Amino acid sequence: MRSWELFRCLNPFREPDGAVPVFVREATYLPPWRVALRLMNQDAVPALTVVALVQLLILLRAPLPLATRCLVGGLLLLTMILASVMTWSVLLGLALGPTIVRERERATWDTLRTTPFDTATLVLSKARGALWSLRVVILLARGAILLAALVAALLSLSLIEHTHWPFLSDLSPYGMCGVGLLVMSAGSILYLLDRAQQFTLMATAALAVSAGARTVRVAVPGANAAAFAFWLLDAGLAAVVLALQPVPAATLQERLITLALLGPIPAYLAELSLGWAVLAVTFTLALREAVIALVWRWTLRAASA
């Protein structure tokens, strides 16, 4: 199964298909850590309201330059944290870690497998039901990622600066504007694809731990560690690719922040020329696709054992 198909099947807002009773059963199950997540979801809107009020007070009471910096900095930090896939390692571990192993502990997994649904449908239905408890956080993250896509679009304009474009000198101002819009659109689309694929990789890793573990106590921290490890390997690979580019210390710090919060694609678009950026993006997406397929096959094999 391809990563995009997995991402669509993991979407908790998608109309449930296949094993609908399994989805409903998982969505209504509330173990202790899921209760905490539900409370976090319920408190998300009030917490964001408090943050907005604090920012508004700073804007009204503080000197204008300080107020502007605090307002913009606070909103940008909140947006980047929500948009960063790194922050999802704990949430994915808590939500997806127990999904399969809990059924094994209760000796009900073999019973579920006697239903007309295949193993892949059962696993994805349970995963989608488990992610239903995170629906408020997922909605907030979607909005943050769309805002971050604008940042990625702006960073992609660096391709024009880092690449020799002979035909640009012959273009009119309207033509230059059109080229810039095309580059920005391509950068934002690649960023959204990158975020979806990286999220799918981390979720699949958490499901793999749940399928292979024997107890929930082992599965939950193991799923957290697996999700974070795959994010770290992904970011580390991008860091190695970018390390071939000589940069001063200040730029190196900015690069690490970009990799941690936005992922490898914006870093490639901001620092590499067009040819190298295309090569790095293609290599990253293809390698991640192969890893997702490998981990998913192992998950199904472990779930069928």
Tens of pLDDT, residue by residue over 98-116, are 899 988 988 888 888 888 8
Q: Indicate if the pLDDT at residue 79 is higher than 90.
A: no
pLDDT confidence band for 170 (50 / 70 / 90) = confident
pLDDT confidence band for 261 (50 / 70 / 90) = confident
Q: Indicate if the pLDDT at residue 160 is higher than 60.
A: yes
Rg of the chain, C-alpha, whole Å? 22
pLDDT of residue 286: 94
d(CA 115, CA 122): 9
Show me where the domains of the chain are located: 3-304
pLDDT of residue 234: 87
pLDDT of residue 90: 83
Q: What mean pLDDT value characterizes the chain?
A: 80
Q: Which residue has the higher pLDDT, 248 or 177?
A: 177
Asked if 13 and 133 count as a contact pair (C-beta separation under 8 A), the reply is no
What is the DSSP-derived secondary structure letter of residue 164? Answer: -
Give the list of residues 6+ apart from residue 267 with CB closer than 8 angstroms, or none.
Answer: 238, 242, 255, 258, 259
pLDDT of residue 209: 94
pLDDT confidence band for 298 (50 / 70 / 90) = very high
Q: What pTM did the predictor assign?
A: 0.82
- pLDDT tens, residue by residue, 120-138: 988 998 898 888 878 878 8
Mean pLDDT (whole number) for 150-163: 83
**Lowest-confidence region among 169-178, 255-264, 284-293, 294-303:** 169-178
Q: Indicate if the pLDDT at residue 295 is higher than 90.
A: yes
d(CA 47, CA 249): 36
Asked if 81 and 87 count as a contact pair (C-beta separation under 8 A), the reply is yes
What is the residue whose two structure tokens read 């896939």?
85
Asked if 14 and 128 count as a contact pair (C-beta separation under 8 A), the reply is yes
d(CA 217, CA 210): 11
pLDDT of residue 288: 93
Mean pLDDT (whole number) for 132-149: 82
